[in-house]
Structures are given as C-alpha cells and as structure tokens.
Amino acid sequence: MEAKDTTHFGYKEVPTAEKAKHVAEVFHSVAGKYDLMNDLMSLGIHRFWKHFTIMNSGVRRGATVLDIAGGTGDLTRQFSKLVGDTGKVVLADINASMLNVGRDRLTDDGIVGNIEYVQANAEALPFPDNSFNCITIAFGLRNVTDKDKALASMFRVLKPGGQLMVLEFSKPAEWMAPIYDAYSFKILPQLGKIFTGDEDSYRYLAESIRMHPDQETLKQMMTDVGFERCEYHNMTAGIVSLHRGYKF
C-alpha cells in the first residue's frame, strides 16, 4: 500500500511528512503549562484516568516499562515506584520540550535511578525486540502520523506475555456528545488563550480528538498488528478509553 501524500492535522490536511513538525510546534508551545492545562481541562479527572491505567498495568518490582509520549512524567513517576531499584522505566517522547519538562520535574522531586529518558518517534522505536514487560501511551497516539506503524513498533519491542495500554480520548456516549462538543470547541480554546496565550493549540486538541479512531476501530487496529485479547474500558461516558492488548 502506498503512503498517502497528505494526512490530517486536526481538521486540516497537511503533507504527511510535515505532520510531526506541526505537532511538535503545538507541544513546544504548551510544554511549560501542560500539567496546569490538564487539570483545568479535565477538572482534575485526568489523574483518575491515569491512576486506573497504573492499577490495571500489572507492573511489579523488577519490570521494564516503556512510557511512550510520557511528557511531563505522570505515569513514569508511578511506574518508577512500582518497579523499584531492580526495574527500569523508559520515558520516551518525540518532543524535546516535553521530555525536558518531565526530566526536570522528576529529578527535582528526587525520582532518579531507575528512569531513562529517550527522545523517540513511536513509529520507529529505538529499542531491541522483546524489551519491555509493559508499554503505555497516554494521550499520545492521536498525534502520531502513522498509527498502524506505531502500534506495530510497540508490538515488536514488547516482550511475549507483555501488555500494551493505550489511554486516549475516544468517542463519548450519544447523550454526552453535544455537551462535550460545546465544551471542546467553545470553552477549551478560551482556556488555552487565557492560561497559555495559545488558543490555536487547544483548538487543534479538540479537532485531533474527533479525528482519532473510535473504540472499536482502535481495538481492531491493535488486533491487526498482532495483539491478542484486545479490549477497552470506557471512562467518563466514553470521553476517554483505556485499550489493552497482549503479545503472546
């Protein structure tokens, strides 16, 4: 299958080769206020979504974990405690600004010793086959240009018996959709404008969520690259879903 010349960046069509650059510009712009905006946008509920992901990871002492699009390190922080000094967590992000914020934040809090930081593209992960017991990507897959290629890359570096967890915005329940749309397109960009001076990046966020595959489509995409026992759990009326799949 030939690669498409263009792809979506929110509701816009851009050259496929340029999408990563456009996404990078968004996250360079918001990196410093990323955690604040997460709290404002979700009324703090993003912490529950991430806690639920950690609790369902099955990660134990001595495990190796890859946190893709790990950003400011919310998941890495918790995984570091779970794996202990005999385990390892790799915080990977394609965006240098986000990676630096995460590294500085965790280091300032004294969370060091079992964490590595790697700037990496999810479509071509720079790790050997069968490297990790658990892989997570939280609110990052929708920004990836070629999601199938990224999922295949994650499958390759996951150990047999390991689990992939994709935490991502998804398609809300029908009754929630009009409320969510009004919030996303009217309130969210204004929050971005007020607190970060960047309205456009948060308009892109709302658009990118709408362009992301729905629950069943993403589940099938995971199955197609080799993951087994794929399932998802909706949270907050389907605004967010946690997809899980295993490599056997």
Identify the three-state secondary structure at position 164. Answer: strand
Encode burial over 76-104: b for 16+ CB neighbours within 10 A, e otherwise. bbbbbebbeeebbbbbbbbbebbbebbbe
- Give the DSSP H/E element, type plus range, for residue 155: helix 147-157
Q: With beta carbons less than 8 A apart as the criterion, state whether 6 and 19 touch.
A: no
* Amino acid letter, 179: I
* For the chain, counts of helices (H) and of strands (E): 10, 9
Query: What tokens appear for 149 in the block?
Result: 């290629």
Identify the three-state secondary structure at position 76. Answer: helix
- For residue 75, give Cα distances in angstroms to 66, 79, 207: 10, 6, 25
Question: Nearest to residue 50, comparing CAs of 88, 78, 92?
Answer: 78
**Binding-site residue positions for S-adenosyl-L-methionine:** 72, 93, 121-122
| E strand intervals along the chain | 6-9, 12-15, 64-68, 88-93, 115-119, 132-138, 158-169, 228-235, 240-246
**Binding-site residue positions:** 72, 93, 121-122
